[in-house]
Structure 1
Amino acid sequence: MQDALNYIFEEDNALDDFENMERILRAPRIFQTRRNYFEEYDEKAFATRFRLYKRSAMELLDLIESKLEFTSDRNNSLSPINQLLLTLRYYATGSHQLTMGDFAGVSRPTANRAIHRVTAAIASLNKKFIRFPETPEDIRKTQMEFYNIAKFPNVIGALDCTHVKIISPGGNHAETFRNRKGYMSINVQAVCNARLIISDIVARWPGSTHDERIFSASRRNAMFELGTYNHSVLVADSGYMNRSYIMMPLDRVQTAEETLYNESQIRTRNTIERLFGMWKRRFPVLGLGLHVHLKNCLPIIVATAVLHNLLQFKREECPPDDPALELPAPWEAIIEQGRIRQQRHPDNAREVRDINPVRRKLINNYFKTLQYS
């Protein structure tokens, strides 16, 4: 019995010695120095690195600060402004979160939590900043802005899709995210107005999904089918099904009015191409690729759309490219990588008959007279 007690006593002492040794050897917690980038950089340098000018960054902070505040400063918590700047820098570089943690003076897990926390807060503003024209006044204004580009009537938006590169999400359905160019992506549908403001966005479909499939399943298509927008139309490329409210270019032109229609349609539709280029160049993470879990990719896409619109509403110019950003290719090539031209929809195969009567009427009754005006 005594031997047993001595053994237990010795074991307890050994355990105490082990715990004491572990405490001695445990690395001390180090709080890194956090730089004040808001004060450190002038206006131009700040915008180059964070893609927003200081005044816009503070206005954004006012909108989301309540969602970023901690209840105390325990454990040297990250302030709302530092959380925001960390996230904006991530959008501006697409760097791995360990690098972002070093940038902000925090650990990688802290950087991860901060980026997704701020992203969720910004994305929650989508109903405020991403709005489709609904009132008669807004519809008329949007149509007039498009008309001023190339005299195409009744246009309420330019429609198209772009691909945002992601890492493989894994699982049984991972290959559905591989697009026709061979990389994993999310196929993002957007509608924009003539001022390059995103009025509608759908960011949840795998890269292999056809543009037409995305639009067919969208709420916006249902609204058009219900006649919500009267005689308004969308301009798009030839990858969509023939609908009375989607104006696509003609593959073959035989008359002067058809040529005029095509020229006007292409110039008007070019707004969505310009939008995608500006959006990705303003927030390079969209062009370079998202190296985060799939569930975190979608809020980032929406959050950057919200930020883009916020800056477009303010008519804030896109800042200069960051010279420290290492690009794998010129920006033109990166943006082109996100463009995947869809094959013509089978419904459009017999276009010689022009089975879209609204388009034919528009060509014969409007563009035919326009060429003589």
Structure 2
Amino acid sequence: MAFAAPVWLAVYNELLGDGAPERPYGLLEAWGDADLLDSFHLSRPCIGFLLGCLQRHGRPARVPELRDPGRVEAMLLEALHYYAHGAGSPGIRDQSGIDPSDSPAVVSRMSELLAGMTERFVSFPLTRADRERLAERGRAFCGVRHVLGAVGCAHFRTRDAPDAATARVFRNTHGYPSVVCQLVCDLDGNIMDVERCWAGSTSTHEVWVSSPRRTQMEGESQGRYRLLGGTAHHLSKHLLTPLPQPQSQEEVRFNRAHARAHGVVHRTVQLLKQRFRCLRLLGPDPPENLEPQEDLVQKENLVRACCVLHNLARKFSVPPPPIGPDLTDPEHPAPSFRVPVKQVSPEALEARQEVIDGFREEDADSTMDMDQDQEA
């Protein structure tokens, strides 16, 4: 993330005061550390931090159900188990008194509260110092100058809508119903931005065009800094795409470096679905009288909640769960979108060429060496 360690400590202290929960948490104490990782795919310090955040957030009168620390704990653990496994925990419900029929409402409410923490824990670099720091790390990673991160769209499978018209809108180009969400990641795999969810038939380019992040980037507020987009994006001054047919050695090097950096988005989405298996089939099932737009908002809250938890898990160095035979979920690339050169902005072509011309051979060689080391 864009926050440095001292900033995180300041946020921690601001949210939790002395950093300690206000009282012991009985349900959490019933698990050993290994059981916590297995049940929730998060560690004890990470869950304790979340409990403290929610307890502080629950003091205002507008969130009355969070005034009881025991209720906060029960709701959070029920939701975390659902995120990790796609189902609630009978054991948690038995110990906490949560009725099984209330579990979907608990998950929905907790997702809404965690999604409300997005601005705190999913941060895009706003200061010049933060942007420069990310750009230097990006150059060390792939050799490309002035890159803050990579942008891509993730598809999250849903159940088919009951009516045919809605089902067509949510069916993506790969043939299954989904919602699509744009993510921006730094090149360390932290999520810097997560936006609204769209019906699965929405193209990657449409999502980007409607994105507040695009407006910010192209409004010159980011200056010379850029993001890397995939072949489904249009090339622009602040969103660099690979060359469709590289000719020179420099262009080949740029495409190779671009692929290395943009692959971070793919790996981040895979890790999200590995740690939070609820993202493999978004739910729980909505009530019959829920409007499609309200259902989309609930799914968006769930995705945002998992993005918040992903960044916290990385900050607390929580290892991902192992990949089993049931967790193979290959990501299908978005269809390539080739715009005729004559329709591309000259400024966009110049911006990409400037990066290609400034691409240092020693940087390219170092990134190739790292790739070879990883393969070995």
What TM-score bracket applies, with the shorter chain setting the length? 0.7 to 0.9
Structure 1 partner of 2:12:
none
Note closer, same or farther for the CA distance 1:101–1:38 as it changes in structure 2 (3 Å cut).
closer
> What do residues 82-129 of structure 1 show as CA deviations (whole Å, max 9, x unaligned)?
111100000011127989856865323321222122111111111101
The aligned amino acid for 2:285 is V
Unaligned runs of 5+ in 2: 1-25, 287-294, 367-376
Q: Is contact 1:155–1:234 with CA below 8 Å preserved after alignment?
A: yes
**Whole-Å separation in 2 of the counterparts to 1:354 and 1:126:** 34
Equivalenced residue count is 326
* Displacement after TM superposition at 1:242 (Å): 1.7
Q: Normalising by structure 1, what TM-score?
A: 0.78
Note closer, same or farther for the CA distance 1:144–1:285 as it changes in structure 2 (3 Å cut).
same
Structure 2 partner of 1:12:
none
Structure 2 partner of 1:43:
33
The aligned amino acid for 1:247 is L
> What do residues 143-181 of structure 1 show as CA deviations (whole Å, max 9, x unaligned)?
111111121111012011110111234455342111112
Answering whether residue 206 of structure 2 is matched by residue 204 of structure 1, we say: no
Structure 2 partner of 1:175:
168
Structure 2 partner of 1:134:
126
- Larger CA Rg, structure 1 vs 2: 1
The aligned amino acid for 1:244 is K
1:182-261 mapped onto 2 (5 Å cutoff) = 182-261=175-254
**Whole-Å separation in 1 of the counterparts to 2:316 and 2:168:** 40
Structure 1: which 4+ aligned runs deviate by more than 6 Å? 96-100, 368-373
Q: 1:120 is matched with which residue: 109, 112, 115?
A: 112
Structure 2 partner of 1:54:
44
**Whole-Å separation in 1 of the counterparts to 2:86 and 2:28:** 20
Structure 1 partner of 2:273:
280
Structure 1 partner of 2:71:
79
**Whole-Å separation in 2 of the counterparts to 1:188 and 1:117:** 20
Answering whether residue 158 of structure 2 is matched by residue 156 of structure 1, we say: no
Q: Normalising by structure 2, what TM-score?
A: 0.78
**Whole-Å separation in 1 of the counterparts to 2:64 and 2:103:** 15
Note closer, same or farther for the CA distance 1:58–1:256 as it changes in structure 2 (3 Å cut).
same
**Whole-Å separation in 2 of the counterparts to 1:256 and 1:131:** 36
* Displacement after TM superposition at 1:289 (Å): 3.5
Answering whether residue 80 of structure 2 is matched by residue 88 of structure 1, we say: yes
**Whole-Å separation in 1 of the counterparts to 2:281 and 2:105:** 21
Q: 2:100 is matched with which residue: 78, 97, 108?
A: 108
SS of residue in 1 equivalent to 2:205: helix
Root mean square deviation, CA, Å: 3.1
**Whole-Å separation in 1 of the counterparts to 2:192 and 2:340:** 27
Note closer, same or farther for the CA distance 1:347–1:190 as it changes in structure 2 (3 Å cut).
farther
